[in-house]
Structure 1
Amino acid sequence: MNKIFPRLFKKYNQNQLPPKERDLIDHWYHDTTHAPASAPNEIKTQREVWSKLLLEIQPQPKVRKLLLWHWAAAAVIFVGIATTLYLVSVDNPKPLDLASVAPAHPQAILVNADNRDAEILLTDKSQLQGIVNNKELDTIELLAPKGASFDITLPDGTIVYLNSDSRIRYPKKFNGTQRQVTLEGEAYFEVAHQKEKPFIVRTDKANITVLGTKFNVRAYASNEDNSISLLEGSVKLHNQFTTTLLKPGEMANIQKDAQVIPITNIGDEDPVAWKNGYFNFNNKPISELCEELARWYNVQFDLTLLKKDIKLHGTISRHQSLLKVLEQLSSTEEIKFETSGQQIIIKNN
């Protein structure tokens, strides 16, 4: 932006502008801030400014040319002011209204849908199936962004529930001797049984091989390990060093370079609470719960003032506004919250 605008604002703030110029800025600011929040059209804005100036400013005949030049410069300046005010409003959005922050909704993005980096927004799996049937796709890549979740049926009949901020890649048709998908984030699988063709989930830290089973995989890039929880059937886990079998009711936490894969009982962890519509925070630190809330509601948390990362116990419905969830958490009298701009600050009580 032209350097004249910062100088103009500086003079305005220091009360060094002539009264007429200051009045014009005040009027323009008032009109701009009460106008609809849309990007200013420079040509249209310039014409509006000229119209205002010609109506409001009646220059003396002896200095007509000078005044016309002066106000022509002012017109250009006011176009800059309008643009700057718009940019300021974008950089400084309204404070977050927690009551209006709704839970995640069914939505996904079909990435590279026509092999030209195109993206298609999906709202149900029948829409996805129609697009796949009518496009020459070899590989399908789906992203459930923050603030969304999505369920799909793979070519073999396997059902997959994608949690928020998760991505899955799979072929349009499973050829060969195995069925392989790649996951980033979290998903719950109900795998269609095919004894002759194992189903493999690849993450950045491990491979999970099954024949027909129900299990949950949590493999967010921000986590140090992958968590795999088995509900039914059997699962074989392997990284570059070791292989482990899981039994129903067990869960494993895999690190990429770990020599051993530790196995524990699921107990009251309830790893598929998210799929069943609940936040489960039995013995879960508030920092981890805030990560889930951030993905599900597509918001940002500030935990810098949380001096003690306490653990909470209980369940909360995921189908309510963020405000109600935070009010229920703060009712424990362990934490409190406040907003600052678009961030939610969590503190110890």
Structure 2
Amino acid sequence: MITKEEYLILFRKYQQGECTPEEIGLLESFKDDITLPDAEWERSLGNEQEIYGSIKQRLDAHIRAERQEVAVKRSSIIRRSVIWSAAAAVIVVTVSAALWMKGKQPELRRQPVAINRTDSVQPIAPGGDKAYLTMANGAIVDLNDAGNGDITVLNGVQVRKLKDGVIVYRMVDDAGKTTAALAQAYNSITTPRGGQYQVILSDGTKVWLNAASVLKYPAAFPAKERTVELSGEAYFEVARNSKSPFKVQVKGTTVHVLGTHFNINAYNDEKHVKTTLLEGSVKLTSKKSEVLLKPGEQGIVSASSADFDVERVDLDEVVAWKNGFFVFNNEDIHSIMKRISRWYDVDVEFADDFRNKNFGGTVSRFNDVSLVLRALELTGSVHFKMEGRKIIVMP
């Protein structure tokens, strides 16, 4: 049996065509490691071993069906990656047994059906490196179209696209001295739905932006303080400078740091702002309270209450988006579909008779959306219909 972390590493290697035959064998064997996460089995749900066997049988049948689509002759690396992505979306989903039941009756739900599509529906690809840079003078640069190299040099600050998905700010004049004008020259980088991007700020701080997010920052920081504003989700690796504290302003909360790694989730359509610390320490402040986080802790605050709640969290789950995965941990379908909507740039509608369900599992963010939905459908408790770029969630 391999660990989750080992599986994720091997799966990424497989997608890149770098796995050895032995490593491919490990990936194949992982399908036998499915577990039912319920700590205590409820007798009223039926026989535990029978339910487990039924789940495993469905997964094996799905994997066999996917492999039958592959021609006997050796396929290209790209084709193999697509097929394995489909299988992997099933292999790593950990199914909660309760979702297989109708109420608390021992009968299994009906077999999940194929995702309904209208004839005109085209496959919906995952998001990628897409963003727009807005300069202090109002000029907007589409970073998707910009070539690698200098984007602009303004008052001693060079803005350069290193490669797809990464831009960097660098002081090139006056030995790094920042003028008052530069400190007031705010830029912003915006990722649309279906986009992600990394920006390296003038002080060396690295910021990864998730889809549908905006980061506002000065072209160069003043000497005594570094302040940025965030809407959406971002992961920060802050360059240490004890003489110049780093602050993130987000929806009425201020995150104070010196040099540390943390993630902030603060979408406007979410009720809470969640700040998760991976390394170092951060202080969260609002109008009424403040709290100091330790590594592995998440500070949660809502617009209706300025008080912080602090809890221990799974760090791998929090930053999975940055590493190319969706991780669902007993997460309700409405929350899951918000994430899918942002990453795949699709609209989501729920059928009137849909009852909320929770799911757990891990799926690659670089699958076609239909493969992600199919993995959820394998639980038998949710089904989907696709109309153009709209997904309808059904019982």
**CA offsets per residue over residues 183-231 of structure 1, 9 Å max, x none?**
0000000111111111100011300000111100001111121011111
CA distance in 1 between partners of 2:301 and 2:145 (Å): 33
CA distance in 2 between partners of 1:162 and 1:341 (Å): 27
If the length of structure 1 is used for normalisation, what is the TM-score?
A: 0.68
Matching residue of 2:141 = 120
Q: Does 1:220 align with 2:267?
A: yes
Residues 236 and 262, structure 2, Cα contact 8 Å, conserved in 1: yes
CA distance in 2 between partners of 1:241 and 1:184 (Å): 21
Aligned to 1:310, which of 335, 344, 357?
357
Q: What residue ranges of structure 2 are gaps of 5+ in the alignment?
A: 1-117, 158-181
Matching residue of 1:280 = 327
Q: Does 1:319 align with 2:366?
A: yes
CA distance in 1 between partners of 2:299 and 2:353 (Å): 29
CA distance in 2 between partners of 1:293 and 1:168 (Å): 21
Q: Does 1:233 align with 2:291?
A: no
Q: Aligned partner of 1:169: which letter?
A: K
If the length of structure 2 is used for normalisation, what is the TM-score?
A: 0.60
**CA offsets per residue over residues 275-321 of structure 1, 9 Å max, x none?**
01110111111110100000000001111335211110111000111
**CA offsets per residue over residues 38-86 of structure 1, 9 Å max, x none?**
xxxxxxxxxxxxxxxxxxxxxxxxxxxxxxxxxxxxxxxxxxxxxxxxx
CA distance in 1 between partners of 2:131 and 2:266 (Å): 18
Residues 278 and 318, structure 1, Cα contact 8 Å, conserved in 2: yes
CA distance in 2 between partners of 1:341 and 1:232 (Å): 42
Matching residue of 1:150 = 197
2:372 aligned counterpart, secondary structure: helix
Q: Aligned partner of 1:96: which letter?
A: V
Moved over 3 A (4+): 93-96, 123-127, 134-137
Q: Which moved more, 1:147-156 or 1:336-345?
A: 336-345
Alignment of 1:143-222 (within 5 A): 143-222=190-269
1:247/1:186 CA distance change after superposition, 3 Å: same
Q: Aligned partner of 1:329: which letter?
A: L
1:132/1:219 CA distance change after superposition, 3 Å: farther
**CA offsets per residue over residues 12-31 of structure 1, 9 Å max, x none?**
xxxxxxxxxxxxxxxxxxxx
Q: Aligned partner of 2:234: which letter?
A: A
CA distance in 2 between partners of 1:257 and 1:125 (Å): 42
Matching residue of 2:64 = none
Matching residue of 2:150 = 130
CA distance in 2 between partners of 1:327 and 1:126 (Å): 37
Q: RCO (CA 8 Å, sep 6+): is it higher in 1 or 2? A: 2
1:124/1:318 CA distance change after superposition, 3 Å: farther
CA distance in 2 between partners of 1:170 and 1:315 (Å): 33
The structure carrying a bigger strand percent of its residues is 2
CA distance in 2 between partners of 1:186 and 1:121 (Å): 20
Shift of residue 342, structure 1, vs aligned partner: 3.5
2:322 aligned counterpart, secondary structure: coil
CA distance in 1 between partners of 2:294 and 2:129 (Å): 32
CA distance in 2 between partners of 1:126 and 1:192 (Å): 27
Alignment of 1:336-347 (within 5 A): 336-347=383-394
Superposition RMSD in Å: 2.3
Q: Does 1:247 align with 2:300?
A: no
Matching residue of 1:24 = none
Q: What residue ranges of structure 1 are gaps of 5+ in the alignment?
A: 1-92
Matching residue of 1:109 = 132
Q: Which moved more, 1:338-347 or 1:176-185?
A: 338-347
Matching residue of 1:47 = none
1:134/1:95 CA distance change after superposition, 3 Å: farther
1:202/1:125 CA distance change after superposition, 3 Å: farther
Q: Does 1:96 align with 2:121?
A: yes
Residues 136 and 187, structure 2, Cα contact 8 Å, conserved in 1: no
Residues 268 and 282, structure 1, Cα contact 8 Å, conserved in 2: no
Matching residue of 1:73 = none
Residues 131 and 142, structure 2, Cα contact 8 Å, conserved in 1: yes
Aligned to 1:261, which of 308, 311, 314?
308
CA distance in 1 between partners of 2:339 and 2:146 (Å): 24
Shift of residue 341, structure 1, vs aligned partner: 4.4
Shift of residue 95, structure 1, vs aligned partner: 4.0
CA distance in 2 between partners of 1:195 and 1:125 (Å): 35
Q: Aligned partner of 1:317: which letter?
A: S
